[in-house]
Structure 1
Amino acid sequence: MQGAWATMIEAQNSAVDDLVHTILEISRVIRAVANGDLSQSVPFDVAGRPVKGDLIRVGRAVNTMVDQLRSFAAEVTRVAKEVGIEGKLGGQARVKGVSGTWKDLTENVNQLAGNLTSQVRNIALVTTAVAKGDLSQKITVDARGEILELKDTINTMVDQLRSFAAEVTRVAKEVGIEGKLGGQAKVPGVAGTWKDLTENVNQLAGNLTSQVRAIAEVSTAVTKGDLTRSITVEAEGEVLALKDNINQMIKNLKETTEKNMEQDWLKTNLARFSAMMQGQKNLSAVSRLIMSELTPLVSAQHGAFYTVNVEENRLDLIASYAYNKSATVPTSFEFGEGIVGQCALEKKPISLGTVPDDYIRIASGLGYAGPANILVLPVLFEGDVLAVIELASFQSFNSIHRVFLDQLMVSVGVVLNIIGASMRTEELLQELQNSNGELETQAKELEEKATLLEIKNQEVEMASLSLEEKAEQLAMISKYKSEFLANMSHELRTPLNSLLIMAKLLAENRESNLNSKQVQFANTIYASGRDLLNLINEILDLSKVEAGKMGIVASDTKVTELVDYVVRDFRAISQQKDIVFAIKTADDLPESLFTDGQRLQQVLKNLLSNAFKFTEKGAITLEAYRYQGSRTVFQAEALRESAVVVAFTVRDTGIGIADNKQRLIFEAFQQVDATTSRKYGGTGLGLTISREISRLLGGEIHLRSIEGKGSEFTLYMPQIYVGQEIEDEGGQGRVARLGDAVDIEPEGDFENNDAIMFSGQKVLVVDDDVRNIFAISSVLENHKLNVLFAESGGAAIEILEENDDIAVALMDIMMPNMDGYETTQAIRRMERYKGLPIIALTAKAMKGDREKSLEAGLSDYITKPVDTTALLHMVKRWLKTHASEAVS
């Protein structure tokens, strides 16, 4: 067809095609929606031609529906994903422009999401609280169906947990805090794990209850003194350790208690026996008492008590317990006879274990049997056996019984000894009572003698008072004597000093203006002065000996040198008197003696001097040897105890000594010939001084003499001096010691160089006696010394102030107004004369004078009469010392 029909048909076909195409697209989109594909949409053109009319409206409506469905699906999916997958509660679907069913559907979805959110959050809140231990929360949100079942299940679980916790807490509090044992947790309706847990808690409480109750039960029993119990409940771990410790503690307590009970038993019974035996005086009674108390105490059934019969040296039965007399069993035993005798012999207990049936029988009214154990014990006191106790028992003696018996035997020994002593005392008392008559008679005699003795005592007391007065008088006399001797020494030595010096100067005849007879006169004067000086020295020595103040300075003294030195002075005398002088020294002499060599020389010189004095012809012998005889001949303890004794014998052929005068010659001022016509001179002090010095040295002098034939004096000396130190080490001893420290050159003439050294040196002589000044000045000036002199201390100080070149000062001590000590102290205060050598030149030669001089500031000390050679040597030495100090 053509034309309009064709156009119309074409238009109609086109319209049909557009309609079909659009409907198909709409159908496709709807099918896609039905299949859940919300991504499709209806196109608005067909083959490039836009759809118009109602089709486009239908298409747009379909597309709008699809868009709303897609938006709804997206929101629902989002909410479902957030709530169901991501767990984000509270989400809501928001679909714009939705209405109708889709709106209802959206609201329903939102209601679903809201319900789930509130339910889940409520469940989460409750479970979180449960997890944190809060069992007070419950799910309260409205729910249905399975959510409701879940709600009920959780709420039921919370209720059961709360009930379980309350029960467990109750049980734990009762058991652990309140100490209520036996509690059990009761949780109704619990099952599964909670049931197991409840049962475990109940088992725990039950175990603790049984264990603690068992421990408490045993502990209570122990506190009540029942130590037989022990904890037997089963336990593990620390409870097991506690159980073992408590059981061990109970065991230790039981052992300690048993030991304490044994000790209490031991001490109680020992004290009981001691009290029981105290005061017993009868041996039979105390032995019976011991048997009756001791035998049953130690569970013995037989006992016997044997005491020692000292006179017959055997053991006799004196008491017994349940003892059966038998002809075959003796009641006495010798020491070593049978077990009883053997026990006494060995002084040790004897125990018999397995005893034969026929050995001994313990009988009663119903029968008899042999013992199982026999114990035999000795009773000792200070090692002596006093008794033996025998015990027999049906059972063995335990250790505490043995200890008790051992200790009891000591107490029994003491009691038996006391009883024995008491019996002896009673015997002695009887004897004393028998002798009371004699004693009363003697008492009367003693009373009479006591009266006489009292009278004698009064007489003795009066005599004692008289002796005390005399002792005081003697002390005063001794003091006056010492003062007199000191003054006499000074007064005699002062003029003697100038006499000796002037006589020696004249005898030296340096200017050769004296003839030989005048020189002989001078020598005679000098010799007489020396004799007078020796006499003064002897008197002073005697006074020191009598006062006990002669000092001893002990040192090693060679015997040969001592002998040589002593005999040196007597060679010339022997030649003058034409007497043979022999010296004998034994080979076995010790090399040296430890003694005061100076004092020993003095004694030997005195003995030799006497020998030469009283011997006109014949021979004199000095013999030194080791004494080999008995020590009993000596009175001196030092000689009796000395290992080596040395003897010095001086033997002469002189006039001898009569027997009746041999003791007398050792007394002071006594001589063999004391008549006015006596031939031999002397003071009679030499032997007295020698005897006293020998005593001070620990020795003795023995004398043998025949009148007209000669004498033999023997000095015995210990090799080692052991005498006591003299008080203050005073007197000559101390002077000698100080003298040892002074380096004085040997005596001898001065050489030309000495005179050269003295030349021009100034010496100040201070003395109130012009005679001494003249004599000393003469000696010093003869040796080229320039002498200044002063007659007082004040004058000496003035001279020193005017002369600053004085080298040495010689100072007298006893001067008027200002003595030598005060003068020296004043000089020492002068700056330029602090080191001036000042020599004490004094007649004060008593004990302590040298020390007093040195303490006063004097440099040295020499006594009058002065040995001019010694004085010159001393001046020389101090000049050297002063010169060297001046140079330094």
Structure 2
Amino acid sequence: MAEAYICHVGNVLDLLLQDKDLDTESHSFLSPNPLPLEFVDANTPPNIHQVEANLQSLVQKMFKMEQELAWHRKHFKAMHPSTTLNSDIVLAPPILTPPVDSLSPPISASSRWADGNWEFVNHTATHTSVRTDRTLPTKRSPPLPTIDTLVPEPVSGTLTPPTLGASLAASHSSNASENVAVCLNGHIPASTSDTSATSAVMTTRTTTFTSAPATTTTAAATTPTEVMPCAQCVHNCAQVASAVVRGDLGVRIHCNNTICQKSNLVKSVNEMVAKLSNFTAEVIQVAAQGVEGRLGVQAKMEDERGIWREFVNHLNTMTVGHSEQVRDIASVCTAVAHGDLSQKITVSVKGETLVLKNTINTMVDQLRSFSSEVTRVAHEVGTEGRLGGQAHVKGVDGTWKELTDNVNIMAENLTAQVRDIADVTNAVARGDLTKKITVEVKGEMMDLKHTINTMVDQLQEFATEVSRVSLEVGTEGKLGGQAHVKDVSGTWKELTDNVNLMAENLTAQMRDIANVSKAVACGDLTKKVSVPVQGEILDLKETMNTMVDQLRTFAAEVTRVAREVGTEGKLGGQAEVEDVDGTWKELTDNVNTMAANLTAQVRDIASVSKAVAKGDLSKKISVEVKGEMMDLKNTMNTMVDQLQEFATEVSRVSLEVGTEGKLGGQAEVRDVSGTWKELTDNVNTMASNLTTQVRSIAEVTTAVACGDLSKTIDVEAQGEISEVKKTVNSMVEQLRTFAAEVTRVAREVGTEGKLGGQAHVKGVDGTWKELTDNVNTMAANLTAQVRDIASVSKAVAKGDL
């Protein structure tokens, strides 16, 4: 059995010695005596010789390799002190670090591995190995051990794995910079180059082993033993570790050694790799689900403990948080896409997701801010016809700046074009035929420009005669004048005849109207216009006759109202008519009487009201009044008395809130009830609500003014404050979808002159629908207006009136 055990050790060492990269030293480095054990004789089995020689060779190769690695590391750090080695591994000798099995004595606390070298301080041979008779080698020890003391008998029929003695560790105290030989038994020759001297020393040395008394088999069997991995298992373990480092989790330890007993190390390594493989597959599955857009996938935790369970918990927490964040962002983006700018991202986030949240909320606020200005400009220009409007959006840049500029360019170009056309048409309407349209235009606006300029040229030819007749009839008051234009035909001949007919009819009509007007001016409301007329002159005739009838009816009513307002205290109107007589004189007198009485009353009330408005509550209404004015006087005086009692606290709260800006103040008025109690409560409620609302609105508006559109008003509000809150919160969120169409319509209408363009925004409602309708209404109105002007201008240019 001993020979079989030693044969096994020799085979393992042969496998380790097959690495020829370690053969960097000459044979002179090795100990000249391959078998330095003194008890070995000619009868010693050859396996002992093989084991001892292989052990010496292996130890010295490993020792030299560790010295070279330690020297290389020191040299590299000296040359590159600021560089960290990727493989800066602590050089602990894998074989020379005792104890490696149950037969090797432990290294005491006074020994340590430092900078690639073992350091020993008074190393003792105390140990607790299974074989208590195996001790560290010492010089001149008593009786020599037998082969049985080195090769223990198996306990319970099981082979114990071989190990190196503690003397191997003792040989590790040599310095890497010294070229000295190493001996397994602690003897260091004087020089490795002096083979004969070394041989003499080795042959004359007296170093022996000191062995403790051998224990019985029963005692050895009662001591627990640990199954150690064989060399192949250790080698496979290294391969598995390397595969794990490379990311290959399919490698396992498979030992083909028939006499190897699978140790806990082998089982633990295989279980660890299997656990890593299963865990990696679960993580990859969760990641793959996330890549495919399936949010909220959870990793399974079936028997995870320790750091594995903690990692899975963190992974699942991450996926749940990511799911909530992405879904909230998607909800807000969908709302913006549908024109709903009232939603904001509210989920709690951190890091770069917080930056994304703030960016999207800022975008929504900017869209809401831009909506108001675009709607205003579109309404002013397209619906109300107020040219020159400009969109003013502060603190914007990028697309918003470009969009604002496009809207302003459209409005500016349209203003310049329409105003130039209006100047010319106004000049024509005023009789000034010297002006023409000069503004640069395109498209349908160009056709309109040419048509109007042609019309002006044609009108200049006709202007002289018409101007003369117009001057006589309209300016000099010479009725009966006729226009004489020679060699005219067509429209101009018809126009001349119409002018003359107009002058003749106008003469008769105006003279009749003048007679009636003179009678009315003199207070005679008995005459009416009787001349036959048509068209607008007929309207004027009917208006004059209706006016006479209404004035007659109005005289009696004004007299009654003047008496009620000025005398009875029933409030009414005031009339001032100069240089009148007759009915108008009587009407003026009645109205003036009313005004005199009402003036005294209202001035007294106004005086008290102004005093109250200025904070002076010492005045009261003292003028003599009646009727409703008496009720008003009593009400005002009672109000002043009540205000005097309420003034102090309200003034204080008003001063704090309204003047000093101290929000949160409350009015404290004792012993009040009824309206004043309610008023006090309302003031306090107002101050409280106003404090909360103003602070929230100020925070949001300040953020908007600074370009930060990530905040919204979330305070509870009602009435107009609620409308302000809703308006501010929804203002920014209603801009983005509308931008492209507004830019296109603005460019077509304002720059390219293409009328008839419409903004097409699908799937919108609310503000976006109204905004789209405003833009389309503006474009439609403008198209209809300009095309109608162009149609009339073309007709005039062709002589079709």
* TM-score where L is the length of structure 2: 0.28
Larger radius of gyration, structure 1 or 2? Answer: 1
Query: Which structure has the higher relative contact order (CA within 8 Å, separation 6+)?
Result: 2
